Amino acid sequence: MKQNIRIQSIGLVMAIGLLSVSCSQAQENQQKSDPLLDVENQIALKDGEAPLAVIQNPSNYNQLSIDEAYVIVEKGTEYPNSGEYVHNKKDGLYLCKRCNARLFDSKSKFNSGTGWPSYDDFIGDGVEVVLDSDGYREEIVCNNCKAHLGHVFYNEGFTKKNTRHCVNSISLNFVKRDDPRLEMTIKEDTKTDTVNMKIAIFASGCFWGTEYFFEKAEGVISTQVGYIGGTKDNPTYEEVCAHTTGHAEAVRVAYDDSKTDYETLCKLFFETHDPTQVNRQGPDIGDQYRTEIFYLDDNQKEIAERLKNVLEADDLDVATKITDAADLPFWEGEDYHEHYYSKKGGSPYCHIYTKRFD
């Protein structure tokens, strides 16, 4: 752990002055004023008069105190057992203090006895795992604003997920699950996301690697690993791997068709695995690793067949099946498979990008 954080009273004028210097350096001396540095605005936020929307624009990030900036910006660490959320057992969500991004659910919180809040999972793709500057630990940061949160550790045996996200309380804000500001933002986000949302389903080998590329694609709202095309309802990973259910490991992609389209995603599918291999991808062998596009309407079918024909015209022996999935159930995979590489770090071992289309 780095030098422990100083907990002391600091005059507001000094805090704002020093923060302004830090922000100007981080933004290459940008002179645009930050409305959240206004005292009245900051008080209004604390009093719950504004929705907790995720802040995308760095110039609008929430104001940080000197102590908060020491951890969030300078990657410091607070004293063990000093954070306000170490023993918090209330039901709700933990948000990024700098940008309000949803990071952790209280349902994933557990008492590790280490002196810092501990979580065995995070919300969606809210957290990014990166290599620490020490060269061996894995640092966790907010995926939206890159605020320092803490570190992640594995194989300690605390929970079934065998993962501990060790987080500084000072990097977080806790919001009760029934907080009206949170509900208002969630409803607004959902309404926005579903206006132009469409679904695509692809199978291209191990769903860890398939999801790795699609979750990073522009216009993608969310991804979900799962199983499709088999005979058993709600199969488990073990059953699928035993080759008794006929399911393919697949990824359901929700996307905003005002920002991307099915053809773009279909091209990404063909370009991030080897579509000539039958019931395998690299060292992964089995029918669950087959290459298959599950179309949901005639337009998706036409696009998939056309792109497959383009590759075959270039003498590529494409093994990809194109299957009507309008009436096929998609069974969501186990939580520990979801966003595997985003959580664990690293990159796929059998999915490599290869440009195949002009």
Active site residues: 166, 206
**Rounded Cα gap, residues 112 and 167, in angstroms:** 12
Could you tell me which of 135, 140, 30, 156 has the C-alpha nearest to residue 94? 140
- Reported as half-sphere exposure (CB side, CA atoms, 13 A), residue 220 has a value of 22
Identify whether the C-beta of residue 94 lies closer than 8 Å to the C-beta of residue 139: no
**Which residues are registered as beta bridge partners of 324?**
295
Mention every residue, 6+ apart, whose C-beta is less than 8 A from residue 209: 272, 273, 281, 341, 348, 349, 350, 351
List, in sequence order, every residue forming a beta bridge with 323; answer none if it has no partner. Answer: 294
> Alpha helices, DSSP H only, in 105-156?
none
DSSP tag of 169: G
- Alpha carbon 131 to its chain centroid, in Å, reads 17
Exposed/middle/buried for 313, CB within 10 Å: 0-12, 13-18, 19+? exposed
Beta bridge partners of 224: 252
Cα distances (Å, whole numbers) of residue 130 to 14, 127, 139, 140, 154: 33, 10, 5, 6, 14
Q: Which two tokens stand for residue 341?
A: 């590489």
